[in-house]
Amino acid sequence: MGISGNLKTMVLAELLQWLSQGQKTGTLVIDNGKVEKKIFFAEGVIISSASTDPKEYLGHFLASHGHISEEEVNKAVARQKEEKQLIGKILVSMGAISEAELQQMLQLKAEESIYDIFTWEEGDFEFLDDELPAETMIRMNLDVQWLVLEGSRRLDEWYRIREYVPSPQTVPVLVTPLEQIEVEEVEMRILGWIDDDRTVEEISQGAQTSLFLVSQIIAEQVKQGTVKAVRPRIIEVEVPVEVPAAAEQTAPEAAPQAPPAQPYPMQPGMMTPDQMQQMLSAYQAMSQMGQQAMPPFGQQMGPPSGFVPPGAPSSGVDVGSGRTLHFAGGDPAQPAPPAQPASEADSLLQQADSALQQGKLDEALRSFRKAKEADGSGPNVEEAANKGEEKVMEALERDGVKLSSVPQLKCGMEELTKIDISPQEGFMLTRVDGSYDIQSILKMSPMPKIDALMLFWKLKKAGHVGIGSG
């Protein structure tokens, strides 16, 4: 039995779960008036997808993720016209990408295409029972539950992004020279499009990359202070208004008013705040699976403000502020001067150093980062915090968690759904197959190196993954 309707009346999460639980086979077609997407099901499992959005064409997608060059895309497209083969097979035959990498990127492309639909406010859909493409597809098996969790998490992420990039019409401006920004290759490619004139939306179009990923990368740099977000570009349009003759004599001439800035994001078919909140509530309910297995990734922990480790000297130089500090318990013949209240940044640096000494690397990293954003922070604090993060990275590598490390699952996905893990952790875990190292996984799910290493360090400590040498 087929089904049709609109995403206004049946949200995507419910639709996907209905098709999965009903073990349906066929094609789900969703059209928002600008883009048409197809999701192919076989016995309730998503096996592939297709889209009319140029950014989601395989060649552009691989180039935007740094796997192939634009030149290789153009060569493959030219050969495709002559040989009438799938562009993926042509790229493999050219040696531009391996068969295994292609399979992995096809799965990521399908997932990204579906996640984008979660942001649509409306769209007509129809499920065509038992109808699948006649041409051969490279089949994959996508877990609907994980797709729903990650799609819902991205709606939550839009709220965070809006704090730093309020609209797709925002113009990012470099504050720090590009060569001084330390990011991954994929992120550098996006930041390279910033010319102090292009909007976030124009960068997304030029880089042939999703608006979500571009906004996420720029928002992180705005947060770090390397990029500044200029107010959204507004084009003023004069609209002729008929004014009665009497009013022309008495009323002063009104200045043209610019249209109000629209809330972010402004893509056609985006969900309203109420709908987003409804979706997030459902997502949060789905996330309550079993008892907590590890501390939440963002939970603040550490010793109290002003903590002094046992055996500390009676005085010393604070690495954050450069001030000479005096501690209780010094030489009784030399009374300590009146205690000066430590700034929030100083206290966080002390907490971070203490956590690092105790091997609590996740707590140390959080405290170092918070110190840079706290009241009383400055160049000295930032320098001390950056050096602290380098020490955390060294400690992670000493513990065997490196970019060349190959993570392996120590339990099945079914078991993982019964424990309390964040959507981000779940998303990364779906990419662990025992053959790819952390560096390769980062190419599919860009995030800072230290964050990825920290994530797998925590999963290793919790017993969810093993770490092998690459």
- Is the same domain home to 417 and 463? yes
Last residue of a domain, one of 97, 128, 143: 143
- Is the same domain home to 420 and 446? yes
Q: What pLDDT, in 10s, does the model give residues 217-262?
A: 999 999 999 999 887 655 444 444 444 444 344 444 444 444 443 4
Q: φ, ψ for residue 468 (rounded to 5)?
A: -105, 165
Give the range among 61-65, 224-228, 240-244, 390-394 with minimum mean pLDDT.
Answer: 240-244
Last residue of a domain, one of 91, 121, 143: 143
Q: φ, ψ for residue 198 (rounded to 5)?
A: -70, 145
22 assigned to some structural domain: yes
- Is the same domain home to 355 and 422? no
Question: For the chain, what is the domain count?
Answer: 3
One DSSP character per residue, 41-58 reads EETTEEEEEEES-GGGSH
128 assigned to some structural domain: yes
- Is the same domain home to 382 and 451? no
- What is the C-alpha separation between 358 and 31, in angstroms, rounded? 54
83 assigned to some structural domain: yes
Instruction: Tell me the helix, strand and coil percentages in the chain, rounded to 5.
Output: 45, 10, 45
- Is the same domain home to 368 and 432? no
Per-residue pLDDT, averaged over 385-412, amounts to 88
- What is the C-alpha separation between 404 and 227, in angstroms, rounded? 30
- In sequence order, what are the beta bridge partners of 325? 316
- Is the same domain home to 348 and 461? no
Tokens 């959204």 -> residue: 232
3-state SS, residue 298: coil
Last residue of a domain, one of 121, 143, 165: 143
One DSSP character per residue, 214-239 reads HHHHHHHHHHHTSEEEEPPP------
- Is the same domain home to 9 and 49? yes
User: Is 386 in contact with 448 (CB distance < 8 Å)?
Assistant: no
- What is the C-alpha separation between 209 and 354, in angstroms, rounded? 41
- Is the same domain home to 10 and 105? yes
- Is the same domain home to 433 and 456? yes
Q: φ, ψ for residue 5 (rounded to 5)?
A: 170, -155
**Is the confidence at residue 139, as pLDDT, over 60?**
yes
CA atoms within 13 A on the CB side of 90: 18
Cis peptide before 265, with omega less than 30 degrees from 0? Answer: yes
Per-residue pLDDT, averaged over 295-301, amounts to 35
The b/e string for 263-286 (b: 16+ C-beta within 10 A; e otherwise) is: ebbebebbbeeebbeebeeebeeb
109 assigned to some structural domain: yes
Q: What pLDDT, in 10s, does the model give residues 316-337?
A: 444 334 444 443 444 444 454 4
30: confidence class by pLDDT, cuts 50, 70, 90: very high
C-alpha dist (Å) from residue 275 to 8, 35, 126, 281 = 9, 21, 21, 10
pTM above 0.75, yes or no: no
Tokens 């109808």 -> residue: 131
Q: What pLDDT, in 10s, does the model give residues 154-181?
A: 778 887 888 899 888 899 999 998 888 8
161 assigned to some structural domain: no
Residue 208 φ/ψ region, left for φ over 0, alpha for ψ in the -120 to 50 degree band, beta for the rest: left
Tokens 């972010």 -> residue: 264
- Is the same domain home to 414 and 321? no
Domain that holds residue 8: 3-143
CA atoms within 13 A on the CB side of 37: 23
202 assigned to some structural domain: no
User: Distance between the two ends of the chain, CA-based, in angstroms?
Assistant: 49
- Is the same domain home to 75 and 14? yes
- Is the same domain home to 110 and 48? yes
235 assigned to some structural domain: no
**Is the confidence at residue 202, as pLDDT, over 90?**
no
- What is the C-alpha separation between 50 and 113, in angstroms, rounded? 8
pLDDT at residue 418, rounded to an integer: 64
264 assigned to some structural domain: no
